[in-house]
């Protein structure tokens, strides 16, 4: 066991929605942690609450219970400047890069925006940073002047990853980062995320329903079912010796293993 606290520690998270007046416990007591530099996969079928966990971790959904600690500090209780400082160290990548990139903005502006929002550098240093980010995600320098619609889905996901990297996060939460992409492109984007982790030591929380992807990227797996964690452990243990019937069913439905 490490003497350091985990980079991210979510404790008994609860998120409740009220569609049509009835109570839906979308996330019902979920605990998970991610160590610095580690990749954790959060898996589960559609509707099991994975995206809701991601948005709760990012502070987008209010918590009905539980708390989130980042680097040992309580993010849920943090306010003002402390909250902003903690938040910039965790960044979210979504499934559909088209919906999350403003079509009117140039790529340069998209990548610069988080730097401007956090008052990082001046115009010249931000422009340099845009160039570095494009190189880091494997896009040509002239991508800066173009707009999102001029790129393919895979390239758009590279832009979204570059934006998430702008503030040098210590944790990336990637919610189904490749499931909207052509199968032929998926491996490239997965490899880009793994390269970011290897070169920057960035921790990854990868959300996916694709258990084959889990085997390829993750150190540890957290399996969700109907808003709860049903199984968690090192990737080989969970995939080779699943204990929960739901995990077994999930593995059986994965043709690529
Ligand atoms: P997953 O990402 O695993 O597919 P979600 O977290 O998106 O699952 O959804 C979990 C449950 O919460 C589903 O039943 C979904 O319909 C419901 N849900 C998600 N977001 C909302 C919302 N904003 N309002 C109402 N219900 C929601
Ligand atoms: Mg989802």
Q: Is the pLDDT of residue 168 over 60?
A: yes
pLDDT digits (tens, 9 = 90+) for 95-149: 887 788 999 999 999 999 999 999 999 999 999 999 999 999 999 999 999 999 9
Q: Is 46 in the pocket of ligand 1 (CB under 6 A)?
A: yes
Q: Binning pLDDT at 50, 70 and 90, where does residue 9 land? A: very high
* Best of 17, 21, 210 for a ligand 1 pocket test (most atoms within 8 Å of beta carbon): 17
Q: What integer pLDDT is reported at residue 2 of this predicted model?
A: 52
Q: What integer pLDDT is reported at residue 251 of this predicted model?
A: 86
Q: Which pairs count as long-range contacts for 12-17, CB under 8 Å and 24+ apart, including other chains?
A: 12/65, 12/66, 12/67, 13/53, 13/56, 13/57, 13/63, 13/65, 13/66, 13/67, 13/68, 14/63, 14/64, 14/65, 14/66, 15/49, 15/52, 15/53, 15/56, 15/61, 15/62, 15/63, 15/64, 16/64
pLDDT digits (tens, 9 = 90+) for 202-214: 999 999 988 878 8
Q: Binning pLDDT at 50, 70 and 90, where does residue 3 land? A: low
The ligand placed nearest to the CA atom of residue 48 is 1
CB-count exposure of residue 160 (10 Å: 0-12, 13-18, 19+): buried
pLDDT digits (tens, 9 = 90+) for 36-63: 999 999 999 899 999 999 999 999 999 9
Of 18-27, 226-235, 244-253, minimum mean pLDDT range: 244-253
Tokens representing residue 163 in the block: 């934006």
Q: What integer pLDDT is reported at residue 255 of this predicted model?
A: 61
Q: Is 28 in the pocket of ligand 1 (CB under 6 A)?
A: no
Q: Is 44 in the pocket of ligand 1 (CB under 6 A)?
A: yes
Tokens representing residue 147 in the block: 């707009």
Rounded CA separation 198/184 (Å): 23
Mean pLDDT of the residues in the chain: 93
Smallest CA separation from ligand 1 atom 12, residue: 26
Query: In 48-82, which positions are buried (b, 16+ CB within 10 angstroms) versus exposed (e)?
Result: bbbbbbbbbbbbebebbebebbbbeeebbebeeee
Query: Is the Cβ–Cβ distance between 38 and 220 less than 8 Å?
Result: yes
pTM score of the predicted model: 0.94
Which residue stretches of the chain are H helix? 50-57, 80-87, 97-100, 107-117, 123-136, 153-165, 183-200, 211-217, 235-240, 245-252
Q: How far is CA 190 from CA 93, 177, 221, in A?
A: 12, 8, 16
Q: Which one is predicted more confidently, 67 or 87?
A: 67
Q: What integer pLDDT is reported at residue 256 of this predicted model?
A: 56
* Atom of ligand 1 minimally distant from the CA of 52: 6
pLDDT digits (tens, 9 = 90+) for 125-137: 999 999 999 999 9
Q: What integer pLDDT is reported at residue 253 of this predicted model?
A: 80
DSSP state of 196: H
Smallest CA separation from ligand 1 atom 19, residue: 52
Average pLDDT over residues 192-220: 92
């Amino acid at each position: 066991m490490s003497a350091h606290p985990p980079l991210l520690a979510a404790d008994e998270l609860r998120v409740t929605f009220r569609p049509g007046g009835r109570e839906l416990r979308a996330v019902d007591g979920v605990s998970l942690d991610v160590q610095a530099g580690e990749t954790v996969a959060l898996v589960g079928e559609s509707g099991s609450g994975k995206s809701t966990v991601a948005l709760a971790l990012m502070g987008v959904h209010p918590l009905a219970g539980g708390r989130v600690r980042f680097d040992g500090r309580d993010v849920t209780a943090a306010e003002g400047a402390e909250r902003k400082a903690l938040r910039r160290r965790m960044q979210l990548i979504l499934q559909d890069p088209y919906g999350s990139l403003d079509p009117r903005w140039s790529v340069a502006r998209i990548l610069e925006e988080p730097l401007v929002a956090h008052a990082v550098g001046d115009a010249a240093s931000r422009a340099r940073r845009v160039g570095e980010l494009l190189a880091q995600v494997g896009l040509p320098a002239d991508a800066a002047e173009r707009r999102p619609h001029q790129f393919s889905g895979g390239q758009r996901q590279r832009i979204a990853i570059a934006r998430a990297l702008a503030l040098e996060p210590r944790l990336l939460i990637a919610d189904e980062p490749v499931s909207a992409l052509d199968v032929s492109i998926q491996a490239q984007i997965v490899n880009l995320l793994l390269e970011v982790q290897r070169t920057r030591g960035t921790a990854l929380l990868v959300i996916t329903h694709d258990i084959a992807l889990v085997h390829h990227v993750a150190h540890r797996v957290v399996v969700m079912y109907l808003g709860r964690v049903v199984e968690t452990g090192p990737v080989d243990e969970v995939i080779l010796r699943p204990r929960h019937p739901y995990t077994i069913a999930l593995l059986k439905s994965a043709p690529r293993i």
